Structure formats: C-alpha cells, structure tokens
Homo-oligomer: A and B are copies of this chain.
Amino acid sequence: MLTVSELSKVAQATPDAIRHYVRIGLLTPSRNPDNGYKLFNGYDIKKVKFICRAKGLGFTLSDIQIIFDHSSAGKSPCPAVRDIIQQRINENRDRLVELNRLQQRMDEALEKWKSMPDGEPDGNAICYLIESTH
C-alpha cells in the first residue's frame, strides 16, 4: 500500500495531481485508520499511468472517468475511446484554425504599431494603437 507521495513517484505525477484525481473520483484509495492518510494499491499505479498516457493523447479527465466506468462495468471501453478521440481531433482542429487566425491578427497589429508613435492620453482615446485597429 502506497501513500500519495510514494504513488506520485512511482507513477510520475505530482502529489497535487494525485490528490486532484482522488477528489474528482478517478481514484478511490482506502484510508489508514490511524491518521486518515490515503492508501493506494497496485491497480492505482496502473490507473495513474493510464491517466497520464490518455491525457497526453488529448483525453480530458472526464473522458477518462467514462473509460474507467466502462471498464469497471465489465464493458470494453474501446468503441467509446475511438469516438471520444475523434471528437477531440475535431475540436483541436477548430482550435488550431482559431489560434492561427489570432496569431495572424497579432502579428499584423504589432507590425503596424512598430511604426506608430506613442499617443499621450487625452481623456478621449484610451490607446490609439488598439483603437486604430479595425
């Protein structure tokens, strides 16, 4: 049986992350009756490593919760896993498009501002650099 910090070392996560997973129900450690400390077993090590790998593939913690639920209900999580990642791929594609557009706007703005002098506050405009963008 492992404590929080022991698990965190074995499974390569921070103690804060471990505690977070416990809070949201991804891990359900038993407790040391003497001091209330959380106690983890070998399956918890596997679960934390799983969480890290899945996070690295773009799964959210609630996605992972769903996978755990399937698994502990004796069902194969694999179809859900394929569905979820397809969704995350779509979302990420959209986010990339948006961030690329933002990057372009920022680049253009800075380029333009480099050749503009500072404006002094006149009680009217706040910052004419930004207010000059359209």
Copies of this chain, complex-wide, total 2
Question: Chain A residues in contact with chain B, CB under 8 A?
Answer: 46-47, 50, 53-54, 56-59, 67-68, 71-72, 74-79, 81-82, 85-86, 88-89, 92-93, 95-96, 99-100, 102-103, 105-107, 109-110, 113-114, 116, 118-121, 126-131, 133
Which residues of B lie under 8 Å from residue A93 when comparing CB positions?
103
Which residues of B lie under 8 Å from residue A99 when comparing CB positions?
92, 95-96, 99
Which residues of B lie under 8 Å from residue A77 when comparing CB positions?
121, 126-127
Q: How far apart are the CA atoms of A95 and B47 in the complex, in Å?
A: 28
Are B106 and A100 in contact (CB-based, < 8 A)? no
Are A58 and B92 in contact (CB-based, < 8 A)? no
Are B129 and A110 in contact (CB-based, < 8 A)? no
Which residues of B lie under 8 Å from residue A86 when comparing CB positions?
110
